[in-house]
Amino acid sequence: MRRLAGLVFGLFFLSSAYADNKTTLHDFRFWSSPDRTRIVIDVDPGVRFSINQKNSQFTLGIRNAKILKDTYKKLFFTDQRIKKTRIKRDGTTYQFKFKLHGQYQIKSYTLKPNDKYRYNRLVIDLYDQKNQAIKAVKKPAIQQRATKIILIDPGHGGEDPGAIGYKHSKEKRITLSIAKKLAKKINATKGMKAILTRRGDYYVGLTKRIRIAQANKASLFVSIHADAVKSRRAHGASVYTLSERGGSTKFARRLETSQNTSDQFGVKQQSNNKDQYLNKILWDLSRKDRNTQSQKLGVKILEQLKKLVICIRKFPKSWVCRSKTPAIPSILIETAFISNPKEEQRLNNNKEQDKIANAIYQGIINFYK
Ligand SMILES: [Zn+2]
């Protein structure tokens, strides 16, 4: 009889837990970048939360929540903005108290699931108060004018992993690794200086990437990526160029308007295989704009990459070197197919990464010859 009562109670408890419809907090992720810290929480739909900031502390309250055991461990994150985290629980209301190193501008929003993230996401950004304009790394002094600034843009980062390989390698890691190798080579070259749009695992908005290039008076903008398609057999490198027509301001503005809907993380929202990032950066790629500096740069780099890979998908056939240089020659390189197991292995290999970086480097050198 006792046993039966226990069973009945147990069943009742179970069903009432379901009736409660609690919001499960599935995961916590933190991304620190030079100008902000991003907190991402995987949640169930309809999450009810509040944010209160007081001096150098902010409290995130989530009602009717449930934290998984594994989630707990990930909560205690510290960086240049977050000093300490405490959890206070009142029934099913959780209060996450973040002790901060200063006062920050806090922005929050939720995002729906997509092909990279299966849960809804609650995003909280802590921005540095002085919304510092993107500064040039160094003021371009008169004697430095001859120095060519090469902006290297490692694609994706942070909450945006980019393409995922057959064996689950993330594009964002490979692009950063190749970019750093390329930067080293450029910085060891007289008259050249490399600047990276990101130096760690965090996301930088597309507009900001372009603005960093403009603020630094970059001579070239080189975005590094790794391609992915459904077929495991697709292989090879490809280079895309940006049109210079209309200038870089128009380009940045165009990017900005497209960003509101899809650039929260640069994560692809569409179900097709095209890299969303690539789509955006190529908004004005058209046949009639072939004769540009970007094209010339693209050809020079492809000539080098061709030595490494078997197949080139896109090869600009001709170009004319124009005397006027209206905007920053910009190219986007898909170094190889991360979706191809063989190429994925190559992309993860240190020596192979160095070969790719060297090919890009040689292409840049030949472009300036
Ligand atoms: Zn990419």
Burial of 64 per CB tally in 10 Å (0-12, 13-18, 19+): middle
Nearest to 56 by CA among 3, 94, 99: 99
pLDDT value for 139: 54
The token duo for 326 is: 């209206």
Q: Where in the chain is the domain with CATH 3.40.630.40?
A: 141-260+273-368
Give distance in angstroms: CA of 256 to centre of ligand 1.
18
Give distance in angstroms: CA of 91 to centre of ligand 1.
44
Task: Please list, in sequence order, all residues whose beta carbon lies within 8 angstroms of the beta carbon of residue 124, skipping any fewer than 6 positions away.
Answer: 38, 39, 40, 41, 51, 60, 106, 107, 108
Q: Which of 75-89, 177-191, 205-219, 281-295 has the lowest mean pLDDT?
A: 281-295
pLDDT value for 39: 96
Q: Is the confidence at residue 264, as pLDDT, over 90? A: no
Is residue 353 very low, low, confident or very high in pLDDT (cuts 50, 70, 90)?
Answer: very high
Averaged pLDDT of the chain: 77
Q: What average pLDDT does the segment 273-287 reach? A: 42
The C-alpha angle 120, 113, 126, rounded to 5 degrees, equals: 55
Give distance in angstroms: CA of 264 to centre of ligand 1.
15
Give distance in angstroms: CA of 240 to centre of ligand 1.
12
Provide the 10 A C-beta neighbour count for residue 132: 10
Fold exhibited by the domain 141-260+273-368? Aminopeptidase (3.40.630)
Q: Where in the chain is the domain with CATH 2.60.40.3500?
A: 20-127
Give distance in angstroms: CA of 166 to centre of ligand 1.
15
Give distance in angstroms: CA of 118 to centre of ligand 1.
20
Give distance in angstroms: CA of 162 to centre of ligand 1.
5
pLDDT value for 317: 31
pLDDT value for 301: 86
Give distance in angstroms: CA of 69 to centre of ligand 1.
33
What is the rounded distance in angstroms from the CA atom of residue 365 to the CA atom of residue 188? 12
What is the rounded distance in angstroms from the CA atom of residue 190 to the CA atom of residue 183? 13
Q: What region, left, alpha or beta, does residue 191 occupy, with left being phi > 0 and alpha being psi -120 to 50 degrees?
A: left
Give distance in angstroms: CA of 303 to centre of ligand 1.
21
Q: Is the confidence at residue 315, as pLDDT, over 70? A: no
Give distance in angstroms: CA of 155 to centre of ligand 1.
5
Give distance in angstroms: CA of 261 to centre of ligand 1.
18
Q: Is the confidence at residue 134, as pLDDT, over 70? A: no
Q: What is the DSSP string of 89-106?
A: EETTEEEEEEEESS-EEE
Give the pLDDT confidence of 224-235 residue by residue, as tens digits: 988 887 888 888
Give the pLDDT confidence of 183-225 residue by residue, as tens digits: 999 999 999 999 999 999 999 887 778 778 878 888 888 989 8
Give distance in angstroms: CA of 142 to centre of ligand 1.
36
CA dist 29 → 25, 43, 75, 125, 202 (Å): 11, 12, 8, 12, 11
Give distance in angstroms: CA of 112 to centre of ligand 1.
21
**The CATH number of domain 20-127 is 2.60.40.3500:** yes
Q: Is the confidence at residue 165, as pLDDT, over 70? A: yes
Give distance in angstroms: CA of 291 to centre of ligand 1.
25
Give distance in angstroms: CA of 295 to centre of ligand 1.
20
